[in-house]
């Protein structure tokens, strides 16, 4: 570590604050895609079954961050792909 200290010492000394901040930040970060998705649905850009698929992927995006192993990162990556592929497909189809 560049600072010369142990990361374990930092996390042990911080107690529940670190876990609480990470959980709160993950939830708040997850609201971004949901708000973006709602805007796209209201604007009429995302239609049909893609609305439901994207909403489920946005919810999985939030939940996958709570998985304590490395599999959570794979869940987040997969959820983002499922979320943004229909949005990208709609933009590509309608505007290009």
Q: What is the pLDDT of residue 13?
A: 64
Q: 15 burial class (0-12, 13-18, 19+ CB within 10 angstroms)? A: exposed
Closest CA to 86 of 33, 19, 31: 33
- The answer to whether the pTM exceeds 0.75 is no
Q: Which two tokens stand for residue 75?
A: 């869940």
- Between CA 9 and CA 64 the distance in angstroms is 27
- DSSP category for residue 1: -
pLDDT at 57 over 80: yes
pLDDT per position as a tens digit, 18-28: 777 777 887 78
């Amino acid at each position: 570590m560049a600072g010369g200290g142990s990361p374990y010492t930092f996390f042990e000394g911080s107690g529940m604050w670190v876990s609480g901040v990470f959980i709160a930040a993950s939830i708040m970060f997850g609201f971004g895609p949901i708000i973006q998705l709602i805007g796209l649905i209201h604007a009429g850009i995302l239609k049909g079954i893609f609305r439901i698929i994207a909403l489920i992927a946005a919810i999985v995006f939030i939940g996958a961050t709570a998985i304590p192993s490395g599999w959570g990162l794979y869940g987040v990556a997969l959820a983002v792909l499922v979320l943004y592929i229909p949005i990208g497909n709609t933009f590509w189809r309608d505007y290009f």
